[in-house]
Structure 1
């Protein structure tokens, strides 16, 4: 029994020893393979930094508004007897747009106007008699009050008739009418939209921290989706005197010439307030920046000599991103003009990584964007 037990122990030790020895052999061979493996060379793209001029802007978004715009409606109720405009027509201030039925008011006006001369003559006759001490002051006052009351009635009727003749309050473009001939209109019925689009306005907000950088008359570039390749030039026309305390934003209004009529009210627009140009600045593509919670950095390529061979290795340098504009970013830090900065392939890099500069057209913007 003891002999059998000793034999089993020896067999187990031999089995475990074989496994351990094999694993040790594999590890040694792996270490030798890694030690003899050539250092990885990472392909990257790079640009050489140059000092350029940078045009800083303050970006905002807003909606286009007309110079003047109003929805025409009626002050009094009545039946539409005349529509004196065409949909989409250009009108001048004072042009007749819509007339409501006013026959009853005109008849009453005519009746009052017929009575006015007699009341006037009666008042003037009593005035002469009063001067001659032939009538009392009360008789004269009664005649004067009847005469003035009739004048007031006539003025009231004329104003009522004017309210039934709806005119354009300013020159501009009409929209599509919402009424029909013979329709009975309640007070305040929307008739048609009238807008003065000779110049447009853009209302937007900016943070109060940017208030010191803007002023009335400052140029503004406006971009709208309807004309993606066109920049509309405007100027700051007004700045709200108060900051909205709940958000810390201040409202700004820009005026935009619209001689060609391309801009329409309600358009979503992007605004870029143009600030004084900055010279001798360093600008890199945003793809070259490694954004991280502990700070932003870029990789600079440096050439080193090793055993008579020239190698390109990267050095990670911290930078501050001052502003962004499209794919570019204005940066400051321990970089200078002439440095080669990695623009793509950053994910696999670390300090002192060996790199190879390659050509890559993936980051180049196409001449035209594909459409669905």
Structure 2
């Protein structure tokens, strides 16, 4: 029994020893292979940075508004008698749009106008008789009061009839019609929307710390979601004289020509306020910048003993616009920066510069 147990222990030790020995042998061979393995060369694309002008911008957001815009309505109640416009029509200032039934007022006006000539003739006749001493001053005053009263009644009736005719207060485009012939309208009823869209306005706010960067007639580049590929050029037309004491913001208004009629009121817009151009700035593509918890960096290629190696360089990045970024500190003109392939790199990696347009979007995307 004891011999059998001793034999099993010896067998187990031999088995475990062989496994451990094999693993040690394997690790030694792998280490030798890795030590003798040539250093890998990573293909990358690169660009040499140069100093160039940079036009900084200040971002803002707001909503597009018309030059003038109102909701057409009536001042008094009445039945719609005439409608002189169609939905979406361009109208001129003073054009009659809606006329309410005013047959009663017109009849009263005609009656009053019919009595006016007799009252005027009587007043003039009494003036002649009074100069001759044939009538009293009281009779003359009564004739004059009757004549003046009829004139006032005529003016009042004409004003009442005019108030029952809705006219366009300015040139513009009228929206969808919300009333119909024969409909009884109450004061304040929404008839249609009228807007002057020849010039649109954009109102936005900026921090009070940026007031010194703003001036009248300063250019803006404006984009809206409806036309993402198009830029509308506007200019600052007004700056609020007071800063909001609670938010520290100041309101700014800009004019945007709308010759093509593409802009509509209520659109959400993004504005880039164009600031003075700064010369001799380092600008690189944002794809070259690496982002991590410790900051932003790029890989700069340096020549060492006839080989190209990439070294990580920490950056201080300023404004960004589109796919470009302005570098405040960390690069100088002539530096060669890796633009793609940096995912595989570490500090001091050996690299090979290749031509690769994989990051360039195709002219036409494939159809699914």
Instruction: Report the Cα distance in structure 1 between the residues aligned to 2:12 and 2:260, rounded to whole angstroms.
Output: 96
Residue of structure 1 aligned with 2:350, choices 344, 350, 354: 354
1:286 is matched with which residue?
286
Provide the secondary structure at the position in 1 that maps to 2:9: helix
Q: Where does the alignment leave 5 or more consecutive residues of structure 2 unmatched?
A: none
2:33 is matched with which residue?
33
Residue of structure 2 aligned with 1:329, choices 305, 325, 349: 325
Q: Cα distance 1:141–1:173, how it changes in 2: closer, same or farther (>3 A)? A: same
Instruction: Report the Cα distance in structure 1 between the residues aligned to 2:180 and 2:332, rounded to whole angstroms.
Output: 72
Provide the secondary structure at the position in 1 that maps to 2:170: coil
Instruction: Name the stretch that deviates more: 17-26 or 155-164.
Output: 155-164
Instruction: Name the stretch that deviates more: 261-270 or 75-84.
Output: 261-270
Write out per-residue CA displacement over residues 99-140 of structure 1, whole angstroms, 9 at most, x where no aligned residue. 100111222334445566777789899999999999999999
Provide the secondary structure at the position in 1 that maps to 2:291: coil
Q: Where does the alignment leave 5 or more consecutive residues of structure 1 unmatched?
A: none
Provide the secondary structure at the position in 2 that maps to 1:291: strand
Instruction: Report the Cα distance in structure 1 between the residues aligned to 2:258 and 2:36, rounded to whole angstroms.
Output: 72
1:50 is matched with which residue?
50
May I ask how many residue pairs the two structures share in their alignment?
368
1:179 is matched with which residue?
179
> 2:337 aligned with 1:341, yes or no?
yes
Conserved 8 A contact 2:316-2:330: no
1:5 is matched with which residue?
5
Provide the secondary structure at the position in 2 that maps to 1:351: coil
1:211 is matched with which residue?
211
Instruction: Report the Cα distance in structure 2 between the residues aligned to 1:12 and 1:327, rounded to whole angstroms.
Output: 66
What's the TM-score, normalizing by structure 2?
Answer: 0.86
Conserved 8 A contact 2:66-2:199: yes
Instruction: Report the Cα distance in structure 1 between the residues aligned to 2:307 and 2:188, rounded to whole angstroms.
Output: 81
Instruction: Report the Cα distance in structure 2 between the residues aligned to 1:371 and 1:189, rounded to whole angstroms.
Output: 50
Instruction: Name the stretch that deviates more: 154-163 or 27-36.
Output: 154-163
Write out per-residue CA displacement over residues 317-355 of structure 1, whole angstroms, 9 at most, x where no aligned residue. 111111101001001223211111011122222211111
Q: CA deviation at 1:81?
A: 1.0
1:64 is matched with which residue?
64
**What is the correspondence of 1:1-372 to structure 2 with a 5 Å cutoff?**
1-113=1-113, 153-244=153-244, 248-305=248-305, 310-368=306-364
Q: CA deviation at 1:143?
A: 8.4
What's the TM-score, normalizing by structure 1?
Answer: 0.85
Q: Cα distance 1:20–1:96, how it changes in 2: closer, same or farther (>3 A)? A: same
What value does the CA root-mean-square deviation take over the aligned residues?
A: 3.3
